[in-house]
């Protein structure tokens, strides 16, 4: 409020055309004081405040613009992804249940249903990252195995001569992580005898050896087949 008082003082003295204190300001021509300059010749508090406010508004506007622009682009990307995820054919079953209002549980064509999930066997070899990217582009992730039943279900339909990436990897220091963030439970693992055996092998593939199906740590750059997993679609 003090700033307004100062400003009005300036104006009043100007109109009265008295030379006053303002003619002494260095840059101002005689009798024509510059309104936004205070007695000292420095910008007045009001002017400075207005400039600060303007700057603040500009910054706020820019921040808001960037924020909404990013949100909008994200939305567009998601829409694109959803369009991409529209499966042309679903295979659905009505699960046996005594409850009347049953729902259809579906898997896309070429995906295999098991329990509450659908599985896709990708037969063209790719690195671990490329394999996971491919699953991701289909709304899935590399397969996660938490039980003997899951392990048995998938191995029954895999080729004995091939290795398949599963969604298990080590970001460092032999800390095994599932791609879906579910906890790694040491007591529900299916490593081949002697595996994992090399610190540089930070990704896991499932393959068949004389003792049966099991997990082996492998180099993530190696090109392997893979298995994708996603939740069943309920209609």
* Residue ranges in contact with ligand MMA by CB under 6 A: 195, 197, 201, 216-218
Task: Decide if residue 201 touches Ca ion (CB under 5 A).
Answer: yes
Task: Decide if residue 199 touches Ca ion (CB under 5 A).
Answer: no
Strand 141-142 relative to strand 212-218, pairing: unpaired
Residue 229 site contact among Ca ion, ligand MMA, none (CB < 5 to 8 Å, cut-off depends on kind): none
One DSSP character per residue, 144-157 reads ---SHHHHHHHHTT
The sign of the CA dihedral 121, 122, 124, 130 is negative
CA distance 182 to 128: 19
Encoded one letter per residue, x for contact with Ca ion by CB under 5 A and - for no contact, window 74-93 reads --------------------
CA distance 229 to 136: 10
When the beta carbons of 70 and 197 are compared against ligand MMA, the nearer one is: 197
CB 172 within 8 A of CB 182: no
When the beta carbons of 109 and 160 are compared against ligand MMA, the nearer one is: 160
Give the residue, chosen from 147, 197, 199, 221, that forms a contact with Ca ion under the rule CB under 5 A: 197
Task: Decide if residue 202 touches Ca ion (CB under 5 A).
Answer: no
When the beta carbons of 33 and 214 are compared against ligand MMA, the nearer one is: 214
Task: Decide if residue 217 touches Ca ion (CB under 5 A).
Answer: yes
Question: Nearest distance from residue 195's CB to ligand MMA, in Å?
Answer: 6
When the beta carbons of 108 and 214 are compared against Ca ion, the nearer one is: 214
Encoded one letter per residue, x for contact with Ca ion by CB under 5 A and - for no contact, window 151-190 reads ----------------------------------------
CB 202 within 8 A of CB 171: yes
Helices marked H in the chain: 2-15, 45-84, 128-137, 148-155
CA distance 233 to 117: 9
Chain residues binding Ca ion by CB under 5 A are 195, 197, 201, 216-217
């Amino acid at each position: 409020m003090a700033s307004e008082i100062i400003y009005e003082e300036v104006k009043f003295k100007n109109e009265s055309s008295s030379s006053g204190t303002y003619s002494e300001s260095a840059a101002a021509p005689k009798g024509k004081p510059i309104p936004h300059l205070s007695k000292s010749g420095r910008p007045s508090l009001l002017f400075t405040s207005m400039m600060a406010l303007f700057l603040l508004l500009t910054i706020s506007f820019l921040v808001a613009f960037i924020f909404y622009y990013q949100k909008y682009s994200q939305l567009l990307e998601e829409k694109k992804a959803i369009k991409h995820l529209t499966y042309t054919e679903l295979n659905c079953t009505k699960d046996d249940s005594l409850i009347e209002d049953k729902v259809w549980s579906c898997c896309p064509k070429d995906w295999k249903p098991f329990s509450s999930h659908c599985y896709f066997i990708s037969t063209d070899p790719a690195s671990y990252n490329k394999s996971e990217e491919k699953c991701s582009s289909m709304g899935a992730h590399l397969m996660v195995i938490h039980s003997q039943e899951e392990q048995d279900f998938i191995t029954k339909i895999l080729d004995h001569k091939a290795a398949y990436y599963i969604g298990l990897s080590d970001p460092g220091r032999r800390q095994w992580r599932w791609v879906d963030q579910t906890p790694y439970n040491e007591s529900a693992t299916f490593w081949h005898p002697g595996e994992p055996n090399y610190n540089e092998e930070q990704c896991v593939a499932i393959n068949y050896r004389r003792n049966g199906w099991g997990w082996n740590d492998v180099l993530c750059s190696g090109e392997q087949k893979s298995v994708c997993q996603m939740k069943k679609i309920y209609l």
